[in-house]
Chain A
Amino acid sequence: MSTSSLFEKRAWKDLPVAGIIPEPGTSTKYRTGDWRTRKPIIDEQKCTNCLLCWVYCPDAAIERTPKKVMVNYDYCKGCGICANECPVKAITMVMEAI
């Protein structure tokens, strides 16, 4: 499980009292990618780098590089909006291996 390192593998005695989160900005440590059941795969041959997926991704999980886009699987929840919006059908959703 990739959850916040704050709480990682801690026994009940060692968890923060009352379930508080004792420091700010910890949401970046919470890898929401493990919610995913289907995974977007980008076909680099078809991708035109039009950036529509980057625009539409609700989790900002599409990352830009100078020539292409990449999926940040640590945070991609697998909603499939990118695959739906891709005008050249360069993104396919595949089942996550269990």
Chain B
Amino acid sequence: MAEIRGLTGDEAVAYAVKQCDVDVVSAYPITPQTIIVERFSEYVANGEVKTEFICVESEHSAMSACIGSSLTGARTFTATCSQGLALMHEMLYIASSLRLPIVMAVANRALSAPLNIHGDHSDMMGSRDCGWVQIYAENAQEVYDWIIQAFRLAEDPELSMPVAVNLDGFTITHCMEGVEVLEDEIVAKFLPPRKPLYTLDPSKPITVGAWATPEYYMDFKRQQVEALASAKAKLLEVTKEYAQFSGRKYGILESYGMEDAEAAVLCLGSTAGTVRAMVKELRARGEKVGIVKLWLYRPFPMEELMESLRGIKALAVMDRACSFGAPYGPLCSDVLATFQRYGLRIPTMNAIYGLGGRDVRPWDLSFLFDEVLKIARTGVVRNPVVFLGVRE
């Protein structure tokens, strides 16, 4: 029954979107996302989907078209990355503030300058406060499964919130893997037609995006904060149901070796695979190490993260982006803020890695584990922020 296809991460996105019976796709090509919309435009040209594909002149227009489309109640998808996501930035806030369940694939790529087309998380991290639900996938299979779940989550009638599914540029987008795909009917059953929170309908006029005075604006933002926070519980419902349809169980985070770990590494995306392999190797040598990978980055899963890190003596947080001028990279800042909120004092170091597609090699991780194990033994963080693999 289960069919396994050879798909790159980008192709896995396009295939999932095809099965999700999307009404409108509006996008602008940018490496390494291009193959997503290229494949999808082939489905449109071949008449394999009923989707309206709106070609636009920029990513700013792409997201604007998606906002208009989603307002009419249409199931809407786009994909972008890097400079394209940056150009979309202001529209991202409008999509989330208007509670529009747009799904977007972000093929994570570095930001210029210097020009670089390879993978890192600078793009999404630059827009991490935009109010979207943000998910990071580890491989093509996860990308496929998350795109389908993303529509269901985004369109949950109580949530109605845009969702970004992140896949590392090239490492995932361009690598072909065996992806177990669902039958079209199964996806259709899992993902019923969208029931919009509100729509633009000339027979029942409403105003959208109206002016809010200082007396009201803040109350709307308060509402939005709470709405996004509720995405966590919804995600658990969606992943539970998806497991029944697919046999694959997702959630908020995934950990390995954490039952008795003294030192742990926390990361997002494709690097988790390399870290897990390293954890297995070190555990075979008797080292008590573990890995936690977040699937859900926004809303930030504070409780679940604290639960998974309970009992460890040292933590290394891997950030594939710089937060220039900040004390730590973005993920590490979130983790330390969470420790503070829960009254925890776990000695923590931050590793900035993989910028502009720099490979994270086993010996880079071996250095990182040496450091974090040293911290676990001594309780002292000698180097709070390290740059993995940078030539000194």
Contacts and interface: CB of A to CB of B under 8 A. Distances in A.
A17 B97 contact: no
A56 interface: no
B216 A20 contact: no
B207 A18 contact: no
A11 B206 contact: no
Nearest to B212: A19
A21 B206 CA distance: 6
Interface in A25-40: 26
Given A11-B219, A15-B223, A3 B197 contact: no
A11 B223 CA distance: 10
B198 A18 contact: yes
Interface string B183-224: 000000000000001100000011111101101100110110
A23 B206 contact: yes
Contacts of A24: 205-207
A22 B207 CA distance: 7
A97 interface: no
- Secondary structure dominating the interface of B: loop
Contact of A17 (B207, B209, B219, B223): B223
B98 A18 contact: yes
Interface residues of B, number: 21
B220 A12 contact: yes
Nearest to B211: A19
Contacts of B206: 20-24
Interface residues of A, number: 17
B121 interface: no
Contacts of A19: 97-98, 209-210, 212, 216, 220
A1 interface: yes
A5 to B, nearest CB: 13
B18 interface: no
B156 to A, nearest CB: 13
B208 to A, nearest CB: 5
Contact of A12 (B97, B197, B222): B222
Given A22-B198, A24-B205, A17 B210 contact: no
Contacts of A10: 219
A15 B215 contact: no
Contacts of B215: 1, 3
Nearest to B227: A17
A15 B207 contact: no
Nearest to B208: A20
11 contacts: A1-B215, A12-B223, A15-B220, A15-B223, A17-B197, A18-B208, A19-B97, A19-B212, A19-B216, A21-B210, A22-B206
Interface of B: 97-99, 160, 197-198, 205-210, 212-213, 215-216, 219-220, 222-223, 226
Interface of A: 1, 3, 7, 10-13, 15, 17-24, 26
